[in-house]
Structures are given as C-alpha cells and as structure tokens.
C-alpha cells in the first residue's frame, strides 16, 4: 500500500470503521515496520523508534474513541510486546499466520500446560476432599447440610434442614497454583477462586452475619439479605455488603490489596479509612498502610474469570507473578530486566510456550528449564 493509503487506513482504524481484514493488515504492517526499524537502530534509540511509530497510529485519535481502540499506549509501554500479544492472539482467532522474527526461546520446547479446575476442601473435623477427583453428586453429608459436587469446577454447600438445626462447621476451599474453582456458599452466594487462593466459611451462617475470610483472589456474587450483612476478611482490608458483585485481590506477594466493585455497593475498611465504593471504583491498600480510591479497569480486573490474561500497563513483575500462579512455575530473575510496562491479552488455556514466544517481541530474555522460568534482559 502507498503512504497515502496507509494514512487513510489508520484514520478508519482510529474511528472504528476498519474491517477485520484491514485491522489485521494494519497491525501486521506496524509490527513489520517496527521490526525493520529495530534492525537499523541501536539500543539507545529503540524507545524513540517505538514511540514514533506508534504515534503514527494514535497521535490524532479523538478523546471519545480512546477506549474503543484495541490498545492504549504510554511513553513507557513496550510497544513491541504490545503488538506481539494482539497480533498473535487475533491470528489464532482468524487463522492468519504471523511468524515471529526470532528463534524459539528454547530449542526443545517443554510442555508446561495451563491450569484448570483444581481445589481441595478441608472440613473442620480434618476431613479432606480433592474436589478434582470426586464424582458428581453428594460428597459429604453433615448435620442438616450436604456438600455436593455439581459439575467439574463447581461445589455447593446446601442447607437441607431448618437453619436452627444445622451444625456450623468451618470449611476451607483452596486452589493450588494452576487451579481455579467455584463454590456456592450456604446462603446461595457464589465465589470464584483464582489460582493459589482460598476461602474459609461455616456450613451454616449465623443469624447476625455471613462471614468469610479469603487469601489470594476471589470474585463474589452475593445474595441480598438485608438482615445479615455479608462480610469478607482479607489481610489489611475488610469488606461489608448486603448483595452485590465485587472482586478482591489479596495475594501475599502483591504490593497491595484491591477491592473492585462491579455492581451494587460495598463498604471497604482499609488501613486508614472506611469508604463506600460506587460501581466501577476500587479501594487499594498498600503494604505501607496507605489507602486510595481509584477508577477501576473492570475488564482487566475480571479477565482471569473470563479465561484471559489481560495486561493494562503492568510491570514485568506483575506479569510474571500471574504466569507463575497459573502455570505453576518458579520465576527466577537472572539479572537486570526491562522496566517497560506491558499491554495486551492472550487466552489462559494456551501452552506456556506460546506465551513465552510472544515475549520475544520485547527486550526480555526468557528460558524454561523444567518448571523454572529464567528471566533477564537481552544483551
């Protein structure tokens, strides 16, 4: 295409009027142009090249269309990785082929498969059930309640007697690294557990409250009950609701705890303050005991539940911690690594090797040795 035709295509891309074929062409054109320029540029000028090329696409975009564009870009974004994520992700859907310009990261790819429906139930009396191995149906019956595996990836706690006659036994469901699971709580509320997460709750909630505690990341859809508030305890945050949808990220290895509200309202008590959130907002409490309220990127926050990795201006460490939890690998940094921030998404059901192949677009050196992921900066 001529320069004039490319300019016209960019205009249609910005306004959202491109066909799928035109979007694919423009994305491949950008990646090819970038690769060509990189081969002619020394390392000190690399960031300038990335920004200059990207500005040709988004520099004049109107404010109203910013969220409609497939990507957002900042001065510190690693544009090569950004394009790599989306070109590869979309080519899988449209059957287009896009070859990486570099060799595979490892000569003999090792198959580290993605996570799936895995969880262990531990009851207060010490009984344990590996839920993945249990057949569908009742797996345990207690005083006035049953625990039922409804389908792979879902277990429910059901009251079968008058609540006053139901024994209150504490239960904990825990997902390992590479695990994900859903539980229906005794009041009908639902909780989705991300990898390396847990939830503890009684088999029968009290008359005054419905109280659970969590670690890791859990998404809730709470049944409304004005007479019994639903309370969630996590380290450095406590959440109280009547009925709503919200997500809590409380991993011990993350620098913050974050409660993000999708629907309804929640009262969140952090380290310094208590605040009632509105939908689309979140409270973030860092390890230094500071709270802040921010607009939440709900799509990115909930991507894990939809089976997608979605990175929206995240640092390499954040990206690697997500990969480590889902693929059950140990990340080892071999020295300095890029300080760029990354944008993109890819399905979580992919073999880890496909994800690592995409990282070759950035200034990252990665290799997989067994279940150890070695990460450094390209020389």
Q: Are 53 and 30 in contact (CB under 8 A)?
A: yes
Q: Give which of 73, 112, 69 is closest to 349, Cα–Cα.
A: 112
pTM > 0.85: yes or no: no
The SS3 of residue 198 is strand
What number is the average pLDDT over the span 80-107?
37
The SS3 of residue 160 is coil
Residues 39-58: pLDDT tens digits? 555 545 555 555 555 555 44
pLDDT of residue 228: 93
Q: Which residue has the tokens 């079968």?
A: 160
Residues 168-185: pLDDT tens digits? 889 999 999 999 999 999
pLDDT of residue 62: 39
What number is the average pLDDT over the span 202-208?
92
pLDDT of residue 36: 62
Residue 29 DSSP code: H
The SS3 of residue 149 is strand
Q: Grade residue 356 by pLDDT with cuts at 50, 70 and 90.
A: confident
Q: What is the average pLDDT value for the chain, to the nearest integer?
A: 79
pLDDT of residue 84: 40
Res 159 pLDDT > 70 = yes
What number is the average pLDDT over the span 69-76?
31
Neighbours of 337 (CB within 10 A): 20
Q: Are 172 and 200 in contact (CB under 8 A)?
A: yes
* Residue 320: burial class (beta carbons within 10 Å; 0-12, 13-18, 19+): buried
304 token code pair: 């894990």
Residues 274-297: pLDDT tens digits? 999 999 999 999 999 999 999 999
pLDDT of residue 37: 57
The SS3 of residue 105 is coil
pLDDT of residue 72: 32
pLDDT of residue 53: 53
What number is the average pLDDT over the span 23-49?
61
What number is the average pLDDT over the span 135-160?
92
Q: Grade residue 341 by pLDDT with cuts at 50, 70 and 90.
A: confident
- Beta strands 230-234 and 210-221, pairing class: parallel
pLDDT of residue 34: 58
The full set of domains in the chain, from first to last, is: 1-112+309-379 (3.55.50.30), 118-300 (2.60.120.1440)
More confident residue, 21 or 87: 21
C-alpha distance from residue 137 to each of 91, 124, 168 (Å): 41, 21, 22
Show the beta-strand stretches assigned E in 167-307: 170-174, 179-184, 190-193, 198-202, 210-221, 230-234, 237-241, 245-250, 256-263, 266-269, 274-277, 281-286, 291-295
- Per-range mean pLDDT, top range of 98-112, 200-214, 329-343: 200-214
Q: Which residue has the tokens 């595996």?
A: 149
Res 346 pLDDT > 60 = yes
Q: How far is CA 312 from the centre of its chain?
A: 10
> What is the rounded distance in angstroms from the CA atom of residue 315 to the CA atom of residue 74?
13
pLDDT of residue 42: 53
C-alpha distance from residue 344 to each of 27, 86, 172, 287, 375 (Å): 13, 6, 34, 27, 19
pLDDT of residue 93: 40
Q: Grade residue 342 by pLDDT with cuts at 50, 70 and 90.
A: confident
Residue 360 DSSP code: T
What number is the average pLDDT over the span 123-147?
92
64 contacts: CB under 8 Å, gap ≥ 6: none
pLDDT of residue 104: 34
pLDDT of residue 73: 31
Q: Grade residue 163 by pLDDT with cuts at 50, 70 and 90.
A: confident
Angle at 312 between CA 88 and CA 324, to 5 degrees: 75
pLDDT of residue 19: 82
For helices 20-39 and 79-94, the axis angle rounded to 10 degrees is 140
């Amino acid at each position: 295409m001529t320069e004039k035709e490319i300019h016209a295509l960019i205009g249609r891309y910005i306004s959202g009027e491109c066909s799928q074929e035109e979007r694919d062409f423009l994305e491949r054109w950008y990646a090819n142009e970038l690769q060509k320029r990189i081969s002619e540029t020394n390392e000190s000028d690399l960031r300038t090249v990335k920004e200059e090329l990207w500005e040709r696409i988004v520099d004049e975009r109107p404010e109203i269309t910013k969220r409609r564009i497939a990507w957002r870009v900042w001065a510190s974004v690693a544009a090569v990785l950004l394009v790599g994520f989306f070109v590869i992700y979309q080519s899988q859907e449209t059957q287009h082929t896009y070859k990486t310009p570099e060799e595979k990261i490892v000569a003999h790819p090792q198959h580290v498969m993605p996570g799936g429906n895995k969880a262990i139930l531990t009851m207060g009396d010490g009984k344990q059930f590996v839920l993945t191995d249990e057949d569908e149906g009742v797996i345990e019956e207690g005083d006035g309640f049953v625990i039922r595996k409804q389908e792979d990836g879902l277990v429910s706690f059901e009251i079968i007697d008058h609540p006053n006659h139901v024994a209150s036994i504490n239960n904990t469901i825990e997902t390992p690294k590479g695990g994900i699971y859903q539980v229906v709580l005794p009041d009908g509320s639902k909780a989705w557990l991300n990898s390396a997460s847990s939830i503890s709750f009684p088999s029968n909630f009290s008359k005054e409250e419905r109280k659970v505690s969590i670690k890791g990341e859990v998404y809730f859809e709470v049944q409304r009950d004005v007479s019994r508030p639903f309370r969630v305890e996590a380290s450095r945050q406590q959440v109280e609701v009547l009925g709503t949808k919200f997500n809590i990220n409380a991993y011990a290895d993350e620098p913050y705890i974050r409660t993000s509200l999708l629907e309804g309202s929640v009262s969140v008590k952090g380290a310094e303050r208590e605040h009632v959130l509105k939908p689309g907002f979140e409270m973030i409490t860092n390890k230094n005991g500071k709270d802040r309220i921010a607009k939440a990127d709900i799509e990115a926050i909930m991507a894990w539940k939809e089976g997608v990795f979605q990175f929206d201006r995240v640092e390499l460490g954040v990206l690697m911690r997500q990969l480590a939890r889902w693929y059950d690998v140990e990340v080892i940094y071999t020295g300095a690594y890029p300080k760029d921030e990354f944008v993109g998404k890819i399905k979580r059901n992919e073999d880890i090797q496909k994800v690592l192949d995409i990282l070759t677009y950035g200034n990252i050196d990665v290799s997989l040795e067994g279940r150890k992921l070695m990460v450094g900066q390209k020389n």
